[in-house]
Amino acid sequence: MRYGSTATASKEADTKKFAGNLIWVGMAQLLNSLVLGLVTMPWLTKSYTPEIYGIWVTMNVSVVLISPCLALQLGESVIRFLSGERDKTVIKRSIGSMLLVIMIFSVIILLIANLMAPYLARFLFANSDYTVFIRLLSIWIFINALFNFFICDLYARNKIKLLSIRQVALSLSTMAAVIFLASHHFTITWVILSVIILQALFTLAFLILFSIEIGIPYPNFNRLREYLAFSLPQIPGGLLLWIIRYSDRYLITLFLGLALTGIYSSSSTLAGLTSLYFGPISFVLFPLLSRLWDENRISEVKSYLEHSTRLFLTLAIPTAAGVAVLSQPLLKILTTTEFLAGQWLVLLIALGSICLGVYQINLNIVLLLKRTRIIPVIIGIAAAVNILINLLLLPRVGIIGAAIANLGAYLLLSIIVTVWAVRVVGFSFDYKFLVKIIGATAIMATCLYFFNAEKTWEIILAIFMGIAVYSVGLLVFRAFSEHDRQIIRRTLGFVSPSATKGK
């Protein structure tokens, strides 16, 4: 009986910790996306031409792609192997050895990038005169790689609140710099340089904090081989996933021009709001599942995967529909009429993002099995599908072809990992629940369509109306079972451990 009480209390603690971390990470990523996406976009699109905005977008995309590769995906090893470590000597030696490897590898790559700057400029920006942006990009990638590495360290040491606050602080500082420089007609070069300097300062602050709390990191290569064996196989997968997620920008530039890259990216920024949900969920889920898996608590792994997927779909599906319906009036306010590309483009990109979310959540099964070598294979298949569809459709139907290509590739990935999860842990997908979610979403989208919001206050009112209509739809369709409601109450702390004992 005492064991049962202990197990129940442990489950309660895991659930509440998961919920608390999810809230902090979710709030941070929400503010980051709003600040660096929607808030800065009007200042950039209205202060610079679509071509210049296309440069900004291309550089941001390149930073997202190359930073994890420059860090050799060692941030994943930090989370996987150091999350439960309490020995400060082991932590600082492990971090020190990883940092040294990252620094050496980065110097080599950055030297090569600067020597090839004219060729890279022609490839990325379709203009060999833009070599200054290649040199700035190489510095930005290096700083971002170190920044994200220390973010992983903070998460491994369960400093979720601290890392969330610092991420928000960096986002707000970046927003202020971008708005000030853009509004005072500084060149985009100065805008990019300010972002790099701010991120470098925050990275230095992370290093100082680590040195104070744990000690100055110095290398010890005893476990480095183990870390690299886990992280290196994920690099090809990361590159291939980037091909699916961002290569459309380069292909659009190649086939249709840099201006249309900027136009496509403005719609993608709105559609990407669905990633606000799967980002925090997958970020918080991995270390928790790793611990449960090592403790052979397979049924709880299955439960977390199922409920995380349901939570994600409950939030993401209505968001995708709502953003699509409101996208054109929103873009009129946030940008100029040059950036309007239609509701269907936004909807297709958003649906692709939903499929990507399902993939990211259930990919944890592959990581738990340590089958990281198979990841490049499945992503490679999806990337080939993506490129093929892009090559076929971009010249014929324009930028909407890129959205179709992304949706097809992400759908394939989500199916593969979900089937894998079914076979390994008996993951079950509730199709009745999905139908109810889609039904409530359809009612909400219909109401938003006929509301026909145009002005800012009308859009704000439409958002609240959509939330209300969707919530009522969930109640009418009885989307949540009593078990679901019990989990929600327990997660929020409304039910004590003793109240749920034996259930």
C-alpha–C-alpha distance, residues 302 and 370, integer Å: 17
Q: Are 253 and 399 in contact (CB under 8 A)?
A: no
CB atoms within 10 A of CB 4: 10
pLDDT for 500 equals 36
Residue 256, classed as helix, strand or coil, is coil
More confident residue, 502 or 397: 397
pLDDT at 338 over 70: no
211 falls within a domain: yes
Confidence category of residue 170, pLDDT binned at 50, 70, 90: confident
131 falls within a domain: yes
pLDDT at 422 over 50: yes
409 falls within a domain: no
pLDDT, tens digit (0-9, with 9 covering 90-100), for 38-74: 667 777 877 887 778 778 878 887 887 788 888 888 8
CB atoms within 10 A of CB 124: 21
pLDDT for 209 equals 87
First to last CA, the chain: 14
pLDDT at 13 over 50: yes
Confidence category of residue 32, pLDDT binned at 50, 70, 90: low
More confident residue, 253 or 401: 401
- Please provide the average confidence, as pLDDT, over all residues in the chain: 79
pLDDT at 134 over 60: yes
User: Is 432 buried (19+), middle (13-18) or exposed (0-12) by CB count in 10 A?
Assistant: exposed
Q: How many structural domains comprise the chain?
A: 1
pLDDT for 197 equals 94
pLDDT for 194 equals 93
C-alpha–C-alpha distance, residues 255 and 440, integer Å: 39
More confident residue, 108 or 289: 108
C-alpha–C-alpha distance, residues 237 and 70, integer Å: 14
As a whole-number percent, the residues of the chain with pLDDT over 90 amount to 7
pLDDT for 254 equals 74
Q: Residue 169 sits in which domain range?
A: 37-232
CB atoms within 10 A of CB 370: 11
pLDDT at 10 over 60: no
350 falls within a domain: no
pLDDT, tens digit (0-9, with 9 covering 90-100), for 389-402: 888 888 888 888 88
212 falls within a domain: yes
pLDDT at 221 over 70: yes
327 falls within a domain: no
E strand or H helix that includes residue 386: helix 375-397
C-alpha–C-alpha distance, residues 341 and 206, integer Å: 41
398 falls within a domain: no
390 falls within a domain: no
pLDDT for 196 equals 93
pLDDT for 243 equals 72
Q: Are 77 and 99 in contact (CB under 8 A)?
A: no
Q: Return the top range by mean pLDDT from 199-208, 324-333, 377-386.
A: 199-208
C-alpha–C-alpha distance, residues 382 and 380, integer Å: 5
